[in-house]
Copies of this chain bind each other. A is one copy, B any other.
Amino acid sequence: MPGDYEIYDLGDVRFQSGATIRGCKLAYKTFGKLNAAKDNVVVYPTWYSGQHQDNEWLVGKGMALDPDKYFIIIPNMFGNGLSSSPSNTPEPYNGPRFPNVTAYDNVRAQHRLVTEKFGIKKIKLVIGWSMGALQTFHWGALYPDMIEYILPFCGSAKCSRHNYVFLEGVKAALQADAAWDNGWYKEKPAKGLRAVGRVYAGWGLSQAFYRHELDLKVLGYSSLEDFLVAFWEGFFLPKDANNLLTMLWTWQHGDISNNEIYKGDYKKALAAIKPKAYVMPGRTDLYFPPEDSENEVANMPDAKLIPIESIWGHFAGGPGTNPEDVKFLDGKIKELLAG
């Protein structure tokens, strides 16, 4: 819902790239009430191109993330059109001049929101899907003493080389459209955005998803082509191309150790994640395969690998598309929160 969120004004923020965004904005939404002890906090970052409202499927009465119990903060990722982004930043850092921004930059800003704005010192849970999982891992590695639990699902602590290549294909499809014009488009590069949707369609769901025709039988599309146009092209067409490219760069360069604390020592960064963790890959996720999560868990001090046994590919995790997977995930969040 437009306007159903708050803005935290971060002032001047220097990104890892060296650029400074003046009057940098962090958009967020909260659910529930912060209790007097300030110990009922959940942080739940957004995913690639998603906004806070796209996270709400996991929040609700009776669910693990129950606003009657928890104070849930959903911070919007830079580049998603609500927090500072190519599409909403004034000149001269607007459009294609918006700087590269890392997951580290995002999580540091979110930490400021949590501590400065709300005076929070302890976080019960950080949780996120996909790029939200990337940010969740960052929270765990950067602020381990502050957090009790983390639950990254269908995501990774570092962008794998294969995942990087998949995203190169997405990027190339968008940039092949001359209307993109190196980011200086006046009208949206519709052909490129549609191509992004078609490239993404094969990656987002699994071979088995398509084999069992879940696009028709469960999601109710009228044909495969209808699914490609109505869902996939329709998903990307309203989005700003520079925003998508900004977040894509963030994703490709995601790495919990790429900062002055861990200096590229990935194993050290994983080993620093002290909060008890449930790491939950989707069994058939084509770009965050369980093998990568296994490697993470093996290097974390208190982590458990819990694959989501689903044929929904990357969508096993979200955004709430398959009720069975949601139920399984919600149960695991409850289990983790129960200690």
Contact = CB atoms under 8 A, between A and B. Distances in A.
A295 B203 CA distance: 22
A160 interface: yes
Contact of A165 (B160, B173, B210): B210
A199 B202 CA distance: 11
26 contacts: A160-B207, A160-B210, A160-B211, A162-B205, A162-B206, A164-B224, A165-B210, A165-B228, A169-B169, A169-B199, A169-B201, A172-B173, A172-B198, A173-B199, A174-B176, A175-B191, A175-B195, A176-B194, A176-B195, A177-B178, A178-B178, A202-B203, A207-B287, A207-B289, A207-B291, A207-B292
A161 B171 CA distance: 24
Nearest to A168: B198
A305 to B, nearest CB: 17
Contacts of A205: 162
A286 interface: yes
A332 to B, nearest CB: 24
Interface string A188-230: 0001101101111111011111110100000000001000100
Nearest to A196: B172
A166 interface: yes
Interface residues of A, number: 43
A207 B162 contact: yes
Interface in A138-166: 160-162, 164-166
A288 to B, nearest CB: 9
Given A201-B165, A202-B168, A176 B191 contact: yes
A200 B200 CA distance: 12
Q: Which of A173, A174, A197 has the most CB of B within 10 A?
A: A173
A162 B198 contact: no
Contacts of A224: 161, 164-165
A202 B165 contact: yes
Q: How many of these chains are in the complex? A: 2
A326 B7 CA distance: 59
A238 to B, nearest CB: 18
A172 B194 contact: yes
A260 to B, nearest CB: 25
A49 B208 CA distance: 27
**A-B complex: 10 closest residue pairs judged by Cβ atoms:** A169-B199, A172-B195, A162-B210, A172-B198, A166-B202, A161-B210, A173-B173, A176-B195, A176-B176, A162-B207
B202 A169 contact: yes
A173 B169 contact: yes
A210 B287 CA distance: 12
Contacts of A172: 173, 194-195, 197-199
Contacts of A194: 172, 176
A200 B178 CA distance: 21
Contact of A169 (B161, B198, B213): B198
A296 to B, nearest CB: 13
Nearest to A164: B224
Nearest to A208: B291
A213 B160 CA distance: 11
